Amino acid sequence: MIKQRRTGLRVICFLVVVALYAKFLWDTEVSILKLKRGLPWMADFMVRMFPPDFSVLGSALKGALQTLEIAVVGTTLAALLALPLGFLSARNIAAPGVFYGVRGVLNLFRSIDTMVYALFFVAAVGLGPFPGVLAVVVYTAMSLAKLCSEAIEGIDTGPVEAITATGATRLQILRYGVIPQIIPLFISYILYRLETNIRAAAILGFVGAGGIGFYIQTYLRMMNYRAAACVLLILVIMVMAVDFASSQIRKALI
């Protein structure tokens, strides 16, 4: 039997959604007029950035390198943590108690962004790139672990059965039956995270956690827009270079 359409209910749902959305627009003070009034200021800002001041190129490159280092070190350490955590939070591998526990912890830590962890770690271990690395590690490990566990849950059980049947130990079964199936996917997740972590690490400097963000913030505060433009330019080039390299590696993997 075909369900009867409840048109009345649909109309009410639609009106409620529209009303809520209108309230959100109102609350967030979204206004095209304000945007229009702001346009000249934006233009002014842009004009003041030109031409970029390349005398600060040295600092820009130093900051960019540190951002890259924070992202690479943070992402790789996170990946090392994520693999075992992924196994412990995979429904088809871990015991139910372990699975629910680890999943819960992952979801808890994943609901807070890298930047918030940076504030926390700066307070804990002081200024510099190290709190930045810690912040990247915590968030990235949790999100990679989640993706890893989903990859593990999606594997073909055939090879696992076959390896089990050879008399392999449980670790050998994971190593030969499971890991070969998830490794291409896992590496491509790591590369995606590296790309997003470069962007995240670029603003970690705003809260004193190292990298290029420190220079962006400093020059903007000093209203030295031309210097800030130089730093931003270097950031854009670095992000694009990393994105390109990572997409090439990912292509080679498939």
Contact call for residue 180 and another protein (CB under 8 A): yes
The answer to the question of residue 177 lying near another protein (CB under 8 A) is yes
How many residues sit in the footprint of another protein (CB under 8 A)? 20
- Min dist. Cβ of residue 214 to another protein (A): 42
Single residue of 169, 251, 252, 254 touching another protein by CB under 8 A? 169
DSSP string, the chain: -PPPP-HHHHHHHHHHHHHHHHHHHHHTT--HHHHHHHHHHHHHHHHHH-S--GGGHHHHHHHHHHHHHHHHHHHHHHHHHHHHHHHHT-TTTS-HHHHHHHHHHHHHHHTS-HHHHHHHHHHHH-SSHHHHHHHHHHHHHHHHHHHHHHHHHTS-HHHHHHHHHTT--HHHHIIIIIHHHHHHHHHHHHHHHHHHHHHHHHHHGGGTS-STHHHHHHHHHTT-HHHHHHHHHHHHHHHHHHHHHHHHHHHHH-
Task: Provide, rounded to whole angstroms, the least separation between the CB of residue 155 and another protein.
Answer: 11
Q: Which of 153, 159, 220, 226 binds another protein (CB under 8 A)?
A: 159
* 52 within 8 A of 223, measured Cβ to Cβ: no
- Give 44 or 161: the residue with its C-beta nearer to another protein: 161
* Binding of residue 158 to another protein (CB under 8 A): yes
161 binds another protein (CB under 8 A): yes
Using the contact rule CB under 8 A, the part of the chain among 68-76, 130-138, 181-189, 197-205 near another protein is 181-189
Which one of residues 8, 51, 97, 167 is an interface residue with another protein (CB under 8 A)? 167
- Which lies closer to another protein via its Cβ, residue 128 or residue 159? 159
Span from 29-37, 56-64, 178-186, 197-205 in contact with another protein (CB under 8 A): 178-186
Footprint of another protein (CB under 8 A) = 158-159, 161-169, 171-172, 175-177, 180-181, 183-184
